[in-house]
Amino acid sequence: MREQLPALIVVVPLLASLVAPLVAYFSTALVRLVAIAAILVANISAIGSLTHALTKGNWHYHFGDWAPPWGIELVIDPLAGAIAVLISFVSLVVVIYAGPYLKEDGWLKKGIFYSLFALLTTGLLGMVVTGDVFNLYVFLEISSLAGYALIASGGNKAVVAAFRYLLIGTIGASFYLLGIGYLYAVTGTLNMVDLAEKLPLLMDSPAVIIAIVMLVVGLGTKMALFPLHGWQPDAYTYSHPAAAAFIAGVMGKVPAYAAIRFFFFIMGAATGPVYKALQIMGWLAAAGIIIGSLMAIAQKDFRRMLAYSSVAQIGYVVVGLAIGNSLALIGAVLHIINHAIMKSCLFLVAGGIQWRTGNVSVEKFAELNKKMPLTMGALVIAALSMVGLPPTAGFFSKWYLVLGAIEADMWFYVVVIIISSLLNAVYFFRVIENIYMKKASEEAKDKDKDKGKGMFELPLQMLVPIVVLGLGILVLGILNEPIVSQVIQFVIPGGGQ
C-alpha cells in the first residue's frame, strides 16, 4: 500500500463519493462514517506522501504505470503535499461538523450531501497532487461541479447564487482550458515537468503570451480575484451552511496554488511576460484588498462580510506572488494555509450561530458569549488573526509579506497591507462589540428559536471542529517555523532560502 499513497489521496474520496447515496439508502449513520473514514484516509495518505517528499525528495507517481508524458503523473513535492494535507484536514474537520446540520434530512439528502462533499474534496485534492495540466482541468471541473451543487443545496437564494457561479465559473474554466490548449499547441505536451523544460525557449512566442493571459483570467475567476469576484459573495453566503466553511476556506485557495504552480514552477516568473502579468495581478489584488475590506465593512450579514473579506485576503496571496521575492512567496503560501484555517473557523462559527439561533445578521449577535463562550473565543482568535495581530497565525503571513515588500522596495504594497489590517480591525471589532457588549433585546429573546435551549455550547460534533481550528490558529502562529523552514522553502523554485 505504501507505494500507492498518492493515488489513495484522490481515489478513496472518489470511491466514497460514488457509493455514498447507495450506502445512505441502507443506513444514514453508516454513510457519515464512510465519508469521514474516506477523508481521514485521504488525510493520512497526504501526510504520508508529504513525509516521503520531505525525506526522500519529490514523489513522481505514474498512474497505471504509464510513463509520462503519455500517462498521467501525480507529483508530490513539499508544496503539493502541504496543501493536500491542509485541504484534507479542513475537509475532515468540516465533514465532522456537518453532522448536526443534517440530522433532520432524509437519506437521499444526506447521501447526496456526503457524496458531493467527498467529490469536492476529490477534485480539490486532485488539482493539487496532479502533475499534468489537463488532468488539473479535469479535477477543476470535478470540484466546480460538486461546488455548484453544494452551493445550490443551501436554499432558494442559493440556487440563483449557484447558477450565477456556474455561468461565470464555467467561463473561467474554459479560459483555463484554452490557455493550456495554447501551451499544448506550442510544446506538444501537457506534463508539468515536460512543460517546464520546453517553455523557457518559447516564452516570447505570441501563443504563450495569450496562454498566460487566459490562465490569469481563468484562475483569477476561480480564485475570485478582484474584479473577477462577482460570483463569490453570494455563493459563499448562501451555500449549504454545513459545507460553507470548506467552500469558503479552501475552494478559492486551490486556484491560487495552481497559479503558483504555473507561474513559478512551470514558467518562471523572474522576467518576461509572466513577470508583467503578475504585476498587473498585483495591482488588481491591491485594489481588491482595499475594496473587499471596505465592502466587508458595509455588510450586515456575517457570512457576507466574511465573503468580502475573502476577496481581500486572496489579494494578500496574489500580492505575495506579484512581489515575487522569496520572503513574499513564503508569505503568500503561508497565507494560503493560515487563511484557509482562519476563514474555515469563522464560517464554522457563523454556521454554528445560524444553527443555534437562526441569526446571520451581526446586529443580532448580542450576548452570544453567554450561550457559546468557547465558540465565541474561537471567533475572537480567528478575528485577531484576520487583523494580523501577534501571536496569531495571520500576523506571521503579514510579517513575511511586508518583509518581502520592503526588501523589494515596493512600499505601495506595504501601505495597502497595513491599511487593510486596520480595515479588518474595523469590521471584526464591530462583530466583537456586538457579541460582548450589546444587550440582547427582549424581543430577540422571545423570538429566539434556540435549538439547544439551556444547553451549554453547540453539540460536540460542531464544537470540537471549531475549537480545533481556533487553537490551530494559535499553534500555526507560534510554531510556524517548521512549516516555513521545511515545507515552504521548497516553494521557491530552485529551493531558495
Partner 1 sequence: MAPEILLDYRPLWAVLISLVAAVLILFTGERRSNLREAWTLIAAFGKVAIVFSMLPLVLGGQVIEIAPIHVAQGITLQLRVDTAGMLFAALASFLWVITSFYSIGYMRGHHEKHQTGYFASFAVCLSATMGIAFSANLLTFFVFYELLTIATYPLVIHKRNAEAIKSGRKYLAYTLISGQLFLIAIIWTYITVGNGDFLAGGFLTLEHGSAGLLGLMFLLMTVGAAVKAGVMPFHGWLPDAMVAPTPVSALLHAVAVVKAGAFGILRVVGYVFGPELLGQIGAAEVLAWFAAFTIIVSSLIAMNQDNLKRRLAFSTVGQLSYVVLGISLLTPLGFLGGMYHIIAHAFMKITLFFCAGAIYVTTHKENISEMHGIGRRMPITIAAYTIASFGIAGVPFIVGFISKWNIALGALQGGYALYVVVLIASAMLASTYLLPLAYLGFFKKSDKFTEYGEARKDMLIPIVITAVLSVVLGILPNFGANFYDLATMAAQSIVQSIELVGGGW
Residues that bind partner 1 (CB under 8 A): 330, 384, 387, 389-391, 395-396, 399-400, 402-403, 406-407, 414, 418, 421-422, 425, 429, 433, 436-437, 478, 480-481, 484-485, 497
Nearer to partner 1 among residue 344 and residue 421 (C-beta): 421
Nearer to partner 1 among residue 64 and residue 494 (C-beta): 494
Those residues with Cβ within 8 angstroms of residue 83's Cβ, 6 or more apart along the chain or in another chain = 128, 253, 254, 257, 336, 337
φ, ψ dihedrals at 224, nearest 5° = 60, 45
Longest dimension (CA), the chain: 71
We find the least distance from the C-beta atom of residue 480 to partner 1, in angstroms, to be: 6
* 45, 38 Cβ separation under 8 angstroms: no
Nearer to partner 1 among residue 110 and residue 398 (C-beta): 398
| Amino acid letter, 1 | M
Strands annotated E in 162-284: none
Q: State how far Cα 178 lies from the chain centre.
A: 24
CA-to-CA dists, residue 165 to 222, 234, 235, 264, angstroms: 10, 9, 7, 28
| Side-chain half-sphere CA neighbours of 329 within 13 A | 25
DSSP state of 131: -
DSSP secondary structure, 462-478, as one string: HHHHHHHHHHHHHHHHH
Of 399, 412, 389, nearest to 322 (Cα)?
A: 412
Nearer to partner 1 among residue 164 and residue 430 (C-beta): 430
φ, ψ dihedrals at 75, nearest 5° = -125, 120
CA distance 329 to 320: 6
- SS3 (DSSP) at 59: strand
* 395, 334 Cβ separation under 8 angstroms: no
DSSP state of 384: H
CA distance 121 to 23: 19
Strands annotated E in 101-156: none
* 348, 462 Cβ separation under 8 angstroms: yes
Nearer to partner 1 among residue 244 and residue 328 (C-beta): 328
We find the least distance from the C-beta atom of residue 469 to partner 1, in angstroms, to be: 19
Nearer to partner 1 among residue 195 and residue 383 (C-beta): 383
We find the least distance from the C-beta atom of residue 421 to partner 1, in angstroms, to be: 6
**If phi over 0 gives left and psi between -120 and 50 gives alpha, with beta otherwise, what is residue 60?**
beta
Torsion on CA atoms 118, 123, 126, 128, rounded to nearest 10: -110
- SS3 (DSSP) at 414: helix
We find the least distance from the C-beta atom of residue 387 to partner 1, in angstroms, to be: 8
Nearer to partner 1 among residue 18 and residue 478 (C-beta): 478
Nearer to partner 1 among residue 433 and residue 450 (C-beta): 433
Nearer to partner 1 among residue 307 and residue 402 (C-beta): 402
We find the least distance from the C-beta atom of residue 484 to partner 1, in angstroms, to be: 5
We find the least distance from the C-beta atom of residue 386 to partner 1, in angstroms, to be: 13
We find the least distance from the C-beta atom of residue 256 to partner 1, in angstroms, to be: 21
Nearer to partner 1 among residue 305 and residue 402 (C-beta): 402
We find the least distance from the C-beta atom of residue 326 to partner 1, in angstroms, to be: 10
For the chain, report the end-to-end CA distance as a whole number of angstroms.
34
Nearer to partner 1 among residue 184 and residue 429 (C-beta): 429
Radius of gyration over every alpha carbon of the chain, rounded to an integer in angstroms: 22
Nearer to partner 1 among residue 44 and residue 414 (C-beta): 414
We find the least distance from the C-beta atom of residue 371 to partner 1, in angstroms, to be: 15
CA distance 28 to 21: 9
Nearer to partner 1 among residue 291 and residue 484 (C-beta): 484
We find the least distance from the C-beta atom of residue 489 to partner 1, in angstroms, to be: 9
* 196, 266 Cβ separation under 8 angstroms: yes
We find the least distance from the C-beta atom of residue 418 to partner 1, in angstroms, to be: 5
Quick count: other Cβ atoms within 10 Å of Cβ 331?
Answer: 31
We find the least distance from the C-beta atom of residue 391 to partner 1, in angstroms, to be: 5
We find the least distance from the C-beta atom of residue 118 to partner 1, in angstroms, to be: 36
